[in-house]
Amino acid sequence: MNTYKIAVIPGDGTGPEVVNEGLKVLQAVSQKCGFKYHTHTYDFGGERYLRTNEVLPASAVEELKTFDAIFLGAIGHPDVKPGILEKGILLKLRFDLDQYINLRPVQLYDDRFCPLKNKKPEDINFTVVRENSEGLYKGLGEFQHKGTKDEIAIQVSHNTRKGVERCLRYAFEYTRQFGKKKQLTLCGKTNVLTFAFDLWERTFYEVAKEYPDVKTDYAHVDATTMWFVKNPEWFDVIVTDNMFGDIITDLGAMIQGGMGIAAGGNINPQGVSMFEPIGGSAPKYTGKNIINPLAAICAMAMLLRQIKETKAGNMIETAVKEIVVTKLKDLAAGKMGYSTTEVGDLVVKHLK
């Protein structure tokens, strides 16, 4: 019987509540599918920072490398200045664990939850492969004449050939294996960002030669947001840089029914990957037992697929889909018709 080591970072706000439901479902599915696991919980987040003044202990990254996967709730605390926890924990882990892919599936389970008119589950079913280690997120830049009328703030997008190519290769492989239409769209801005997206575009078409079975397509990022609303059915797999990927996946989350259901994986195909609901810590809902745990539960399904417990991952996804369609009144916090813990229980009951 396979045994896995899973690191758990419940984090801030509603993170711990949704993580509990993810772990509840993990427990149930492990029994059904016959695998074992150990968890170790880390208290990284805002409370710990306020108490100790330390965002991440020095040993954290090396320790986390010894796990099979990481399950993360949310990072972000209202009493901590924006940026400190995000950069010090979330982005640091993504970078130091070299999780160079941020995989974000966008799938609508029930048209009742789509804000777009006349769009059905088969119309909204695509995946964004977001580069997760470079671009504007690298944090390169400087102030000049800070605080004066002549101040200049420079923020540079850093794109390496190696970084772009490994992301594109992952996207082509993913499309070949999972794409419903075997179509990969590069989302960029070649008409303005003529350095960064020149590199992306050249590399895209070069790598594409090795994947004659994958159709290639290009869309500017502004047009991409328009098509997410107008013709989301055109997309299959989309690959893009870190910043554009951040922006378009929030829009993606909205058309699939909102942050309550949107999950993502920070993936290092050769190392340790980290799975999370993509909405934030939602501090105003903390402790009320009303937040939707399905995004975290879907993140757990992705985690299981990554560690090759595919059957378990699929079983969770099927159960989630079923309760979204047959039980939930809404996907938003407080409107589901069930509490956080009841939604977790419902998923467990529908596992088969």
Residues that bind ligand IPM (CB under 6 A): 86, 90-91, 246, 278
* 246 in contact with Mn ion (CB under 5 A): yes
Determine the Cα–Cα distance for residues 99 and 269; give it in Å rounded to an integer: 8
Binders of Mn ion in range 141-180 (CB under 5 A):
none
Taking CB atoms, the residue at the shortest distance from ligand IPM is 86
- Least separation in angstroms between CB 290 and ligand IPM: 22
Of these partners, ligand IPM, Mn ion, none, which one is at the site of residue 239 (CB under 5 to 8 Å by kind)?
none
Q: How far is the CB of 338 from ligand IPM (least distance, A)?
A: 26
Residue 309 binds Mn ion, judged by CB under 5 A: no
Cβ closer to Mn ion: 203 or 256? 256
Q: Is 98 a residue that touches Mn ion (CB under 5 A)?
A: no
Q: Which is nearer to ligand IPM, 75 or 193 (CB)?
A: 75
From Mn ion, ligand IPM, none, interface partner of 86 (C-beta below 5 to 8 A by class)? ligand IPM
What amino acid is encoded at 227 in this protein?
Answer: W
Closest CB 244 distance from ligand IPM, rounded Å:
11
In the list Mn ion, ligand IPM, none, the entry touching 90 (Cβ below 5 to 8 angstroms by class) is ligand IPM
Nearer Cβ to ligand IPM (278/351)? 278
Stretch that binds Mn ion, among 83-91, 223-231, 243-251, 330-338 (CB under 5 A): 243-251
Residue nearest to Mn ion (CB): 246
Q: Minimal distance in Å, beta carbon 105 to ligand IPM? A: 14
Q: Closest Cα partner for 132 from 262, 11, 244?
A: 244
Cβ closest to ligand IPM, residue 188 vs residue 245: 245
By C-beta, is 68 or 246 nearer to Mn ion?
Answer: 246
When asked if residue 276 is in the footprint of Mn ion (CB under 5 A), the reply is: no
Q: How far is CA 43 from CA 11, 25, 79, in A?
A: 7, 21, 17
Cβ contact 268:162 at 8 Å: no
For Mn ion, which is the closer residue by CB, 69 or 248?
A: 248
Window 189-228: contact mask with Mn ion (x via CB under 5 A): ----------------------------------------
- CA 307 from centre of chain: 16
Closer to ligand IPM by CB, 175 or 249: give it.
249
Report, in Å, the least distance between residue 85 CB and ligand IPM.
8
3-class SS string, the chain:
CCEEEEEEEEECCCHHHHHHHHHHHHHHHHHHHCCEEEEEECCCCHHHHHHHCCCCCCCHHHHHCCCCEEEEEECCCCCCCCCHHHHHHHHHHHHHCCCCEEEEEEECCCHHHCCCCCCCCCCCEEEEEEECCCEEEEEEEEEECCCCCCCEEEEEEECCHHHHHHHHHHHHHHHHHHCCCCEEEEEECCCCCCCHHHHHHHHHHHHHCCCCCCEEEEEEHHHHHHHHHHCHHHCCEEEECHHHHHHHHHHHHHHCCCCCCCEEEEECCCCCEEEEECCCCCHHHCCCCCCCCHHHHHHHHHHHHHCCCHHHHHHHHHHHHHHHHHCCCCCCCCCCCCCHHHHHHHHHHCCC
Q: Which listed option, ligand IPM, Mn ion, none, makes contact with residue 7 (CB within 5 to 8 Å by class)? A: none
Q: Whose Cβ is closer to Mn ion: residue 98's or residue 246's?
A: 246
Size of the site for Mn ion (CB under 5 A): 1
Q: Which tokens in the block code for residue 241?
A: 């840089």
Q: What is the binding site for Mn ion (CB under 5 A)?
A: 246
